[in-house]
Amino acid sequence: MDRSGRPSGTAAYGGWSSPITPAMMARAPASLEFPRWVDGNLYWQESRPADNGRTLVVRRSADGDIEDLLPSPWNVRSRVHEYGGLCWLVSKDTLFFVNFEDQRLYRLELDRANAYPQPLTPEAGDWRFADFCYDSRRQRLIAVAERIRPDRADPENSIVAIDREGRIETLVAGADFYACPRLSPDWSQLCWLAWHHPQMPWDGTELVLGELDAGGGINRVTTVAGGPDESIFQPEWSPDGTLYFVSDRSGWWNLYRQNRTSTTALLPMDAEFGLPLWNLGMSTYGFIGEGGRTILCSYCGSDPDSRGNWQLALLDTATGCLENLTTACTAISGVSANASGGCFVGASHDSPPRIHTLNAQGRRLQVVNNSESDAGDTALRGWFSRPRSLSFATGPADGEPDRAHGFYYPPHNPDYRAPRGTRPPLLVICHGGPTAATSTALNYKVQFWTSRGFAVVDVNYRGSSGYGRAYREKLNGYWGVRDVEDVIAAAGHCVEQGLADPSALIIRGSSAGGYTVLAALIAGNTFRVGASLYGIGDLETLVRDTHKFESRYLDRLVGPYPAMQSRYRQRSPIHHLHRFRCPVIFFQGLEDRVVPPQQAIAMVDALDRKGIPVAYVAFAEEGHGFRRKANVSRAFEAELYFYRLVLGIDSGEKLKPVPVRNWPAS
């Protein structure tokens, strides 16, 4: 018998029962971000899908006690750039944070009994804040800000100072976007990133340096690095007051040191020490221990055997010597360090994201365990599929054959085996972004499928990050073309290698990945069924309706609009309904401001009129991505039901049906 009580043994691929249930999907992977050491205490941000998707700040004391700092319904999230990011800061005994509901900045006295968050900024609701640093000399916060003005179509972005009375003073303005305001250790200089339309932060940013006068204002502003074709990531000051940053000027995001008259690459190599700045506060390095000579960092290398995986290391800033540290992690994020030690979020294929800490020498690694979650992960480890890296031939670029990358997960369930001579259905996953990347971190949203007998290929199509600037730029002008070629090529490669049933190929994706799904379905007959999660059907609607941060994103991915309107229409699935031949299921949050619900509704209605089997699952009180536990669970149950229905896979697993338009009556 398997864990659900059903007879185990031989069963068709895709029909296996699994202890990884739809209800588990809301907690996988665990959302842990932005670990920070402050005065011997460890703080981090944690999402709680079971608690209406709210996000809070957690503290582990020097004694090892772990406590939530904010009770329900406080929700720590910012709407700056719509994607938000790091929007809290601890200074000595005070937590400053942004509350999602009203976007106001609050403060909480941490060590005062029965303390309650107190508002710091005005109630008007026209300000948003994120990405803080603390100016202890002047007793104020410095932050990236957006202000909503009734006379402007888009928010006005700036860097501001917020004093202890909640007064807001604009320090820097004029650019379309800002990030990473960072104070020098002597409080005399402020650096920041700025960029302008149509650049995205991974296309071109400027690293700007300003001097602070006696009153805290900015003067003598100098651009020290960057430009429209150079992406700068994470400027940081070393303890001795030297400015460091990550730049892709060499074609790879490498670490640099800024001296008074020159810029020095610490260790030129074909590796990525940076990331696309989708969320404010992202970090890949920090200065560990006393003196600031040693950098704790993470990087994604180009070695074929580990391509797409992340490595933790120590970098000597004086010698450029890089020492790789041994960990079990293949996905590393949120690296932070100071004189006390380092911390990061790390995961592997069979271990979910966890907070890891290191001592000041970077030699002793410890894991901050969540006993309840870890016990569940350990019990299920026997059901986890191990990924392997793929590199495969795909469509041409610049007249030459090209290659794309991804990870293949074979079906795996210790309770079952498939009939001899059969191959599994293959689920091709298209990540969002599209300037992003998938990783090999334990993801129940992959293991959910592999433990039921589906194979999965998670594709890092051309345009993904982690493979250098040239690979990212291969999608420029070709979104809806090369990403489509790559997901089709990934499916074909798996079929050729005997890893998938050619008659049971599935494609799914969310956001930009949902667009790739729909574009792939109109490109040919490769796939039997598809799923689009808050995806894009009409590029023109997207470019007209989306928010400021992404309003010029498509200038590079597709072309300037409306000058190239014909290309937008040519690549929009909504205009090629005659090419759809297979069933599609759509999932949509009704409060989505990134991809408005009308995108999905228009596609569903159009396919319905054509007579193609189509299902639509909408969730109120959800935005761009699903956070509420019940909704996440329902989405996976409905998706599994739909695939099995279309592919004719028999299973004893009881699933709540989803209404399917145009499905033949039984």
Predicted confidence at residue 213, as pLDDT, reads 94
Q: CA–CA distance from 342 to each of 107, 288, 325, 356, 635 (Å)?
A: 26, 6, 13, 8, 38
DSSP states of 431-491: -SSSS-----S--HHHHHHHTTT-EEEEEE-TT-SSS-HHHHHTTTT-TTTHHHHHHHHHH
Residues 237 and 342 in one domain: no
Half-sphere exposure of 559 (CA within 13 A, CB side): 13
Residue 638 structure tokens: 């409905």
- Other C-beta atoms within 10 Å of 558: how many? 24
4 domain-assigned = no
Distance CA 162, CA 133 (A): 11
Distance CA 602, CA 348 (A): 39
Tell me the pairing of strands 127-135 and 140-147: antiparallel
Instruction: Give the CATH number, domain containing residue 352.
Output: 2.120.10.30
pLDDT tens for 454-494 read 999 999 999 999 999 999 999 999 999 999 999 999 999 99
CB-based burial label for 511 (10 Å; 0-12, 13-18, 19+): buried
Predicted confidence at residue 5, as pLDDT, reads 53
Residue 354 structure tokens: 């966890």
332 domain-assigned = yes
Angle (CA) 636-587-541 rounded to 5° is 155
467 domain-assigned = yes
666 domain-assigned = no
Predicted confidence at residue 251, as pLDDT, reads 97
Distance CA 363, CA 368 (A): 16
> How many domains is the chain built from?
3
End-to-end CA distance of the chain: give it in Å, rounded: 31
Instruction: Give the CATH number, domain containing residue 436.
Output: 3.40.50.1820
Give the end of a domain, one of 382, 410, 437: 382
* 390 strand-pairing partners: 406
Predicted confidence at residue 342, as pLDDT, reads 96
Element spanning 201, H or E: none
Residues 66 and 191 in one domain: yes
In 279-381, where do the E strands start and end?
285-288, 294-301, 310-316, 322-324, 331-338, 341-348, 351-358, 365-368
Residues 324 and 450 in one domain: no
Residues 350 and 399 in one domain: no
353 domain-assigned = yes
pLDDT tens for 144-176 read 999 998 888 899 999 999 999 999 999 999 999
Distance CA 620, CA 631 (A): 9
Residues 624 and 504 in one domain: yes
Predicted confidence at residue 373, as pLDDT, reads 52
Q: CA–CA distance from 47 to each of 152, 242, 628, 634 (Å)?
A: 33, 35, 10, 19
Tell me the pairing of strands 455-460 and 426-430: parallel
Angle subtended by helix axes 482-496 and 512-521, to nearest 10:
70
* Cis before 7 (ω within 30): no
Residues 498 and 612 in one domain: yes
Give the end of a domain, one of 343, 361, 382: 382
Residues 371 and 391 in one domain: no
CB-based burial label for 123 (10 Å; 0-12, 13-18, 19+): exposed
Distance CA 134, CA 340 (A): 19
20 domain-assigned = no
Residues with Cβ within 8 Å of 60's Cβ and at least 6 positions away in sequence, in order, are: 41, 42, 43, 66, 368
Predicted confidence at residue 25, as pLDDT, reads 83
DSSP states of 338-362: ETTEEEEEEEETTEEEEEEEE-TTS
Residues 296 and 258 in one domain: no
Q: In which residue ranges of the chain is pLDDT below 70?
A: 1-8, 27-30, 369-376, 666
For residues 144 and 280, the answer to whether their CB atoms sit within 8 Å is yes
662 domain-assigned = no
Residues 204 and 325 in one domain: no
For residues 266 and 317, the answer to whether their CB atoms sit within 8 Å is yes
567 domain-assigned = yes
Predicted confidence at residue 401, as pLDDT, reads 86
For residues 286 and 338, the answer to whether their CB atoms sit within 8 Å is yes
User: What is the Cα 542 distance to its own chain's centre?
Assistant: 20
Angle (CA) 246-159-156 rounded to 5° is 110
Give the end of a domain, one of 382, 410, 431: 382
- Other C-beta atoms within 10 Å of 200: how many? 22
Element spanning 304, H or E: none
For residues 276 and 436, the answer to whether their CB atoms sit within 8 Å is yes
pTM above 0.95, yes or no: no
Domain of 104 in residue numbering reads as: 31-282
